[in-house]
Structure 1
Amino acid sequence: MDARRLRTRRPVVAVLALLCCLGLLSACSSSPFSSSSREEGDSTTQAALPRTLRAVDDLQDGYLKVIKNVLPSVVQIQGRRDLGSGVVYDDQGHIVTNAHVVGDEKTFRVTTAGSEKELTAQLVSSYPQQDLAVVKLQDPPDGLKAAKFGDSSKVEVGQIVLAMGSPLGLSSSVTQGIVSATGRTVTEGGDGTTGATIANMVQTSAAINPGNSGGALVNLDSEVIGVPTLAAVDPDVGDSAAQGIGFAIPASTVRNIADQIIEDGRVTDSGRAALGITGRTVVNDDYQAAGVAVVEVQEGGAADEAGLEPGDIITRLGDTEITTITSLSEALAAEKPGDETTVTYTRDGDQKKADVTLGEQ
């Protein structure tokens, strides 16, 4: 049987259905047409169909090209207990992944795409505040291919993307979707995460499952535009993931953190604003979250310089209402070190305000 016919038969059916819905096939319209109109419509359809088929083939060829270009740079990372994914960052054997993938372990087994051979990697450093980490292969194989990281500022809603990784341990898996939103601030929750609050995340409809963490979210230019990190949870069905809502750390953040870890062995400039306190959520008389109580003030930190003390209850940062420690983290994620803002708080029942110059986390 002709292999090409097998490949194109289903797209033809799909295209015919699409054209019918658009009213391009005269037989699908409820309006009467003359014989000449039907002949003209048939001619138009016959001319449009090959073009549409070529577009379908071109898109499929584009997918295949991206997978061929990028998948060799996506690896599976196995610790003693947890399994995740990683992206080859350079030809020296550095691999970027999520901090929650490496956990508190130091040594990992790494499998590259298309190979069953396990390689050994050592942790370089982990930065849980941004849920990123770098590991390094002890003996990088010949031909190790580094991925190309794209420009996060050019990511657009509606852009087609592919997610690559090892969901549920199924190495070298690829899923497809679009960029659903950009600039999301998300706080991780649940077991196995760092609890980090991460700003500017890319939201995608591409399926992201356990094991995808640390992999690659890729555009059709074969550029990594993000590192898939977590999927949203539907509160109505317990801990089940909400379908089609996943989040990836943007490539610009990944490059910033990875470059510092590789050069200095740690993050020296996080770019994350901080108050310099240890806090906890407090509730009101109706047991509703009502603010963040200051438990400890870091000496010389932003809160200390502004005069905040243990026992104060923070209720607002700038124009943002603060009810929980998570809402405070999300408000700070929208700021930068050195930004000036106002903290509203209560002390002994009295509401007060303090001007604060934010420090760095």
Structure 2
Amino acid sequence: MDVSRTRARLHLPLAALVCSVALIAGCSSGSGSSPAQDGTTTQAAAPAAANDLQDDYLKVIKDVLPSVVQIRASGDLGSGVVYDDNGHIVTNAHVVGDEKTFKVTTANSEDELTATLVYAYPQQDLAVIKLDKVPDGLKAASFGDSSKVQVGQIVLAMGSPLGLSSSVTQGIVSATGRTVSEGSTGGGTGATIANMVQTSAAINPGNSGGALVDLDGRVIGIPTLAATDPTLGGTAPGIGFAIPASMVTKVADQIIKDGRVTDSGRAALGITARTVVDDDYQAAAGVAVVEVKSGGAADKAGIEPGDIITKIGDTDITTITSLSEALAAEKPGDKVAVTYTRGGSEKTVDVTLGEQ
């Protein structure tokens, strides 16, 4: 399955989730309750449960939506989340693109505010911008613990799909721990991102950089990607991905403190490379090393320009994307076996991974 950024089309109708409770009455005579009374009790339980869930939705939306903003970069629209009381806003790197200044609209005002880029980190598709003037009442969002996110958990996606500011959709967490590669065409960063949260909540163009929120009102992820189905040439409804809150806070905290990312947590070989094809020019056959960073992981292991990497550990490497995905599963300092060919001979060497 290919994955494209959220500006790709993804349409999913908003669904209402209703939880009903069935009450089982005793069947012995003389219980003191009649079938009619039991029926009344059962019918009353379902609306009560639905009302409780609706109240939860309304409370979360009231609490969190004021922290979700619309970001305009040139002609493009995206979303962002207020990170702190100083006017820092976290969003996707592909939302800010190459821009340095932005127009921001908050949920409770139509007035456009101005903001300036602090730093963009395309490798993780995250960026931080800062409002030039912090308006009264600006509310920072609360970020949750990604390690506690569970499959089946109800979530709400908040943002500005198709320019419709302060929009909310709902769904569940469909999976966790997904490694997803973003396309590099049409403004995408080409990033390969690990540990993403998969959700069925509708993520449409403009949702990028917004908030994926649990029913406790905590942001558990930043909606970033929507899946496409290559066999149909269109989107795969109900399959969206969000960068986990733990990575968002790790990157944002470094950007705010140091003006850049100083500890990415992303493993790297320290090479520039390209995909190569087989002798029949029909299929990708590996990754050719074009340049080796001096003193980097590959350099220390003796890998040279011209080598063709075919495996990382037991994982076959056929393309740059597959190499990125294999490295995304590792951490800086991990030792992995790298298999490559040189002059027609296959070699395997242990490499202690560096940091991207």
Which letter does structure 1 place at the counterpart of 2:208? S
In the alignment, structure 1 residue 208 sits paired with structure 2 residue 203: yes
In the alignment, structure 1 residue 224 sits paired with structure 2 residue 245: no
- The residue number in structure 2 matching 1:111 is 105
In the alignment, structure 1 residue 138 sits paired with structure 2 residue 140: no
- The residue number in structure 2 matching 1:284 is 278
Which letter does structure 1 place at the counterpart of 2:150? E
> Identity over aligned residues, as a percent?
74
Structure-1-length-normalised TM-score = 0.89
Which letter does structure 2 place at the counterpart of 1:104? D
- The residue number in structure 1 matching 2:158 is 164
Match runs of 1:1-361 below 5 Å? 41-189=35-183, 190-238=185-233, 240-286=234-280, 287-361=282-356
Deviation at 1:285, TM superposition (A): 2.5
- The residue number in structure 2 matching 1:5 is none
Rounded to whole Å, the distance in 2 between the matches of 1:24 and 1:169 is: 49
Aligned length: 336
Q: Is this contact kept in 2: 1:125–1:261, CA < 8 A?
A: yes
Q: Is this contact kept in 2: 1:274–1:332, CA < 8 A?
A: yes
4+ aligned runs moved over 3 Å, structure 1:
22-25, 39-43
- The residue number in structure 1 matching 2:4 is none
Rounded to whole Å, the distance in 2 between the matches of 1:100 and 1:284 is: 33
| Aligned partner of residue 142 in structure 2, secondary structure | coil
Deviation string, structure 1 residues 262-315 (Cα, Å, up to 9, x no partner): 000000000000000111111112411111011111111000000001111101
Q: Unaligned regions of 5+ residues in structure 2, if any?
A: 1-15
Deviation at 1:229, TM superposition (A): 0.2
Q: Is this contact kept in 2: 1:24–1:45, CA < 8 A?
A: no
Deviation at 1:211, TM superposition (A): 0.2
Which letter does structure 2 place at the counterpart of 1:57? N
Deviation at 1:236, TM superposition (A): 2.2
- The residue number in structure 1 matching 2:3 is none
Deviation at 1:225, TM superposition (A): 0.2
Deviation at 1:45, TM superposition (A): 2.6
Which letter does structure 2 place at the counterpart of 1:334? A
Which letter does structure 2 place at the counterpart of 1:211? G
Rounded to whole Å, the distance in 1 between the matches of 2:218 and 2:191 is: 25
Rounded to whole Å, the distance in 2 between the matches of 1:44 and 1:55 is: 17
Q: Is this contact kept in 1: 2:199–2:239, CA < 8 A?
A: yes
Rounded to whole Å, the distance in 2 between the matches of 1:84 and 1:64 is: 24
Moved more, 185-194 or 215-224: 185-194
298 and 55 in structure 1: CA distance in 2 versus 1, 3 angstrom threshold: same
Moved more, 280-289 or 212-221: 280-289
Deviation at 1:50, TM superposition (A): 1.7
Rounded to whole Å, the distance in 2 between the matches of 1:191 and 1:24 is: 57
Rounded to whole Å, the distance in 1 between the matches of 2:45 and 2:198 is: 32
Q: Is this contact kept in 2: 1:165–1:171, CA < 8 A?
A: yes
Deviation at 1:24, TM superposition (A): 8.1
Rounded to whole Å, the distance in 2 between the matches of 1:172 and 1:47 is: 38
Deviation at 1:41, TM superposition (A): 4.5
Higher share in helix: 1
How well do the aligned residues superpose, as a CA RMSD in angstroms?
2.1
Q: Is this contact kept in 1: 2:23–2:42, CA < 8 A?
A: no
- Higher relative contact order, structure no. (Cα contacts within 8 Å, ≥ 6 residues apart): 2
